[in-house]
Structure formats: C-alpha cells, structure tokens
Structure 1
C-alpha cells in the first residue's frame, strides 16, 4: 500500500528529518529504517531491486536518466532539477515535492553554517554559478542561493555569472568593496570555473589580498574536461590571485539533497582529493564492486546515504570511485571499464523490467 505525500506518517517523518538536519537531534537509524520502508512501499522497482541485490544497496545514479524512482508520483513537483549529463548524452530529471524541497534547503544551509561559514561574521559570498532565475533547473544554483541568503553579507554577496559568462567588473567591484570594509570573502563555485577565472585574472595582472578569514570552496571536479588540475595546484592558483589561505571542497549531486565537505586536509585520491566524513545525516561509504560489502580501506564503488532525502531512495550508488580511509572517503572521479557495469544499468534493467 502506497503512502501519500500528505499522509500523517510522512508529516511525522518530515519533522524527524528536519530535527536531525537542523538540531542534530533524533535517531538516524530509525529514520533510515522509515525511509527504507517508504521506498519499498512507494517504488515497486526499488523493492524488486533490493530483493535482488540486498535491501539498502544504493540505487544507481543512471536510473535517473529515465526520470528515476520518485516516491510521490501523485504529488505535483514544485521543482525539477536536471543532471549535468556528464555520464551520457541524456540529462536526468530529479523531482522535488513541497516537503522534499524544504528538507533540501534546510540541509544545504545547516551544513554551510557548520562547515563553510563557521565564524560569527557573515562573509561576502561570491558565487561562481548562475542565479536561480537564470538556471532554474540547476541544483547548484538553488544550493548556492540558499548559502548566500542564509550565511552571506546581504549587501555585497552576489553571483558573478551572467548571460555572457563571468561578469569580471562586478567581481572586481565586489572584492574591492570587501577589502575596503574588511569583510572576509567566500568564493564558491565549480572547480573548472576557478581555473578559467584565475587564468584570466592572472593574465591581466589582477590580484587581491582578501581579508583574514576568506576562503575558497570548489565542487564538481574535472569530469568531462580536457584540462585536469591537482587539488593543490588549483589552490595555489587561487592563492596567487586572491590571497586566500583557507580552502575546501564540496561534493554534491543533483540526485542528492545534501552536500558533503572535507573531513580533513589530507591528500588521498590521485589528484589529491580530500576525504569526506560520515555524519548524522549520512555520508559516503565504499562498496566492494564484486561482493557489495562495505570496505574500511581502499578503493571501490562510492555510495552516498542522505537522510535529508524524502522524495526518492535515500541511498545512491554514484558511479564514482571512492577511496575509504580512517578520515573518511575521498571521491576520485568516475568509474570506467567493466567495473562500472553495475552502475551503468537503468533501474528497470537491473530489476528485469515490469
């Protein structure tokens, strides 16, 4: 029997999830169990998949090329985000219900306050990503808007990506004003955006010494790009142009509600990728590609558990390589070759159709 979006059980589950996200209060194991039961009740394909591979094994991200399992098909979606399409020519669709989108917003802002902006001063948040109005189907635009609204200085924080690309005059005015007012700056955006921006500013001889407490956070890596940079090389380029000494990386996916920040500044992956932690609302783990057992150390299939996720199965098999360490899991790019076959199937293929 399916459970409706407006069922009292869903309302109570929503409240428990919100408390876990915002107040770190509640029982993650109980929420995990209830989300599993909800997925089994509302998504027959997921129930069949779990019957074959084991309950709770992550649903492959490629399932969302077909629209993916959505647990409340009769509830109109209030937002639909599209995947980047870096793993194929088809862009996937990820739907959010009213309650699901609220939880996503809570998760993004709660983790930004704890990880990205821990100080008392509201920094100038400069987003190297488009606005929500310009890109309503991009999850990164939604996420960064929430970070700016909830954590950033309201007068100076802004997106510097316009219709024609980077608005360099706006970027310069914003950074100059932050320096004059002595406000720390948080530069946040896609990894490759930082490469292009630093190249341009360095070629023009432009640089800043941003106020103490300023920092840079990149995300997305270099999947599908012809140019790849090591983590420390990218940070060196940013340091030279902006005078920043504090850095971090954010891992997020359109299919997930939450974002994941670095656990430790310890190079682990082939490009020096830093590990991400497991926290109350979930996080990354690594599965052996043959046995599907969890690994305490070494490389394998990256799986993300997201207890902020209401609208679809809360465990995702990402198709990325994860490297398990004592500090957490480093995310080291897409899987290739025969190992990826288990991640490349649609959910319908994996369950043998209807």
Structure 2
C-alpha cells in the first residue's frame, strides 16, 4: 500500500514545513519527525538516482517503509563515488568536501542558497543552546551581547570547500563581535596551519584586557597551538567566561592526544576550564551538528561526554552484524538521520564507532572499514567491513 504519510511534493514545500516545525518545536514529537523523515525519503528516492538504486538493492522504497528508522543509511564513501544530490548541476552554487589527505578523493556535498539557508537554520539554534546558552533570553540579534570569536582555521574565502570553515563563519557572523578573527592560513600544499604572528598577540591582548572569547578549532590545531606555547614557555589566562569548541580528528596533521590530555593542556595553557570546553561532532555530508555538553555544566553532572543532535536529527548506533540498533551501553556504527540534509541524502552511515547512551552517543573513534567502491555500493546488499575497537575488543565481519 502506498505510504500515506508523505506530506510534500517538492523540496521547497518540505523545507517550509521543516522550518515551521522547528519554529513551533513540534519537530520534538516522534510522530512529526517520522512524518517529515518519510516525506524527505520519498523525495530523495525520486530525485537522487544513485540513492534510489542503493535503496532498491535493499528492497526499501517509499511504499515499503513506515518508520524513519527503516530508511537505508548510505555509507559516507558513496559521496566520493557518486553525485548524491537532487540539485541540477546549474543550480549548485557551492560544494563541501570531506577533509583528509590531498591524495584522497573527497566526498562532495552540493548546496545552493536555499540548502545553505536550511543549513544555517539547523546550525545556529543548536550552537547557541550549547555554546552561548546565556543568549537564549535575547529577543533578537540586535540585543545580543556579541563575543570575540577566535577561530583557528582559514575563513570560508580561503577554504571555500570546507563545511567547517563555512560553519565557523556562519556562527561568527551571527554571534561574534566585529573584532572576531580567523587566524588559520594555508601552507604550500593547502593544508591548514596557524599564523602564529597573528595568533599569539591576539591571545595576549584578550587575556590582558580580560575580554572573554569563544575559541573555535580542530583538535590538531589546538595541539599545534599548545606545542608552540610549551616550546616557548608561554601561557595565557583567558578571561572568565571564555569557552572553547573543539572538533574533528587529527588526520595525521599532528600528534594524537587523548581527549583528557588535550583538554587538560587547554586548561593549563589557556586558562579555560573543562566545564567550558565543548566538543562538536559533524561532517561535510551532514547539515546538522551534535554537541557533547552545554557550556558550564559541572563535571559532577556528566559521567561521559555524550553527543546529542538537535530534535530535527537522530542518531542510531547500529550493529554491523544485524543492522539493528544496539542496546544501551553497547558499541556500533553511528548512523545519522538529518532532516536538514534536504538536497542530498538524509540517512548517513558514518565511519565512526559510538556507544549508545540513551538517545545520544559516546564517540569512540574511526572504524576500520574496508571502503566499498563503485558498483559495490549500489548493487550489493552487504557492505564488507572489519570494525575493531581496542576499548571493547569487538572484531566483526559484516
């Protein structure tokens, strides 16, 4: 029987319905989320041919699915092999690439003005709720107290294909003061590096003036900064109220530090307490982000750093063996279902392992996946993967 829950026939109608649901908070209703997810799945099944083939190989269609959790999650590797976009080529105004080495073929996530507007509508309220919760009582942007944003990446003009640079520029434009700055730059092979001639004087000035800042960057950029400070026996006591958002992995660009060691170094050399260090989880293939705490939450209130997506996105921690969601406290692959991912594919199988923690997850790290390529992504019903976790001792063949 044809699915009767499809509520919109075009992407514009869908986006308008989603934005209205977000504004009214009705998206928090399981029934509303399910209805919107099924509507978006029907649109993407129709308008994204590679995804349609992927679903048909699994015998999943809009006529056979009644729950959002049944929607097939496509591996992120497919974004490298196929154009997973409903946008005609002439309407694509930007593309976000996955990070990695320059030798790798990147994922490609295409956008136009409308899809970037939806990206922003997803990004800003969830960022504010976790990083700047004190602004929740401001009636409009003109009455907001703006903070200095100090960003350890290049800006979007220098890195136009980086979703992270776009994200940081979007939040800085919305919440940052006019003296906010990007202090990242590019080296000869276009890898991101810090411009220390700008970074250190600016940090010193903020510390001396007692001006709270919002410090944003990747894990590897913070390692580079901390190493540079240690080598020169420098440290800064940033003002009370300063906070830091850390995201991304190391990708071979710095030595790897366990999170507790990285965060203790940040506290030691920058004066930002662990209660004001927030981790963000996102990727170029998604339009929504997850955060692991609200700034200022005491350590006694949090046993583990548990990531939560906004109400218009869901995470499922899935067993590679059964494809079912694992029990609470068990390990699996992270599947993300992002209703703001309207112009590509909403259901994504990441390459990350997580521990299910209620309706959130604790991030373990990258899974050792044998990346499927080409036709194997579309035409087989099984993805070959070997997933190892030293923490759990799990080793599984799918």
Give ranges in structure 1 of 5+ residues lacking alignment: 1-6, 269-273
Contact 2:216 2:244 in 1 (8 A): yes
Distance in structure 2 (CA, Å) of the matches to 1:24 and 1:263:
21
Residues 1:43 and 2:48 aligned together: yes
Distance in structure 2 (CA, Å) of the matches to 1:68 and 1:332:
29
- The alignment of Structure 1 onto Structure 2 pairs a total of residues equal to 336
Give ranges in structure 2 of 5+ residues lacking alignment: 1-7, 61-69, 136-144, 188-192, 381-398
Query: Match of 2:181?
Result: 158
Distance in structure 2 (CA, Å) of the matches to 1:348 and 1:103:
31
Q: TM-score, normalised by structure 2?
A: 0.78
Query: Match of 1:18?
Result: 19
Query: Match of 2:140?
Result: none
Residues 1:98 and 2:113 aligned together: yes
Contact 1:285 1:322 in 2 (8 A): no
Distance in structure 2 (CA, Å) of the matches to 1:29 and 1:75:
32
Query: Match of 1:3?
Result: none
Contact 1:263 1:327 in 2 (8 A): no
User: Cα distance, 1:15 vs. partner?
Assistant: 1.4
TM-align CA RMSD: 2.5
Instruction: Write out per-residue CA displacement over residues 287-332 of structure 1, whole angstroms, 9 at most, x where no aligned residue.
Output: 1101111113211111111111111110100111121123621222
Contact 1:58 1:315 in 2 (8 A): yes
Query: Match of 1:349?
Result: 376
User: Cα distance, 1:88 vs. partner?
Assistant: 7.7
Contact 2:289 2:309 in 1 (8 A): no
2:133 is paired with a residue whose SS is: coil
Distance in structure 2 (CA, Å) of the matches to 1:94 and 1:324:
27
User: Cα distance, 1:139 vs. partner?
Assistant: 1.0
Change (3 A) 1:8 1:52: closer
Higher relative contact order (CA 8 A, sep 6+): 1
Change (3 A) 1:279 1:141: closer
Where do residues 218-257 of structure 1 align in structure 2 (5 Å cutoff)?
Answer: 218-224=246-252, 227-245=255-273, 246-257=276-287
2:174 is paired with a residue whose SS is: helix
Contact 2:334 2:352 in 1 (8 A): yes
Query: Match of 1:279?
Result: 310
Query: Match of 1:142?
Result: 166
My pick for the range that moved more, 230-239 or 112-121, is: 112-121
Change (3 A) 1:350 1:87: farther
Change (3 A) 1:87 1:132: closer
Q: TM-score, normalised by structure 1?
A: 0.87
Where do residues 109-120 of structure 1 align in structure 2 (5 Å cutoff)?
Answer: 109-120=124-135
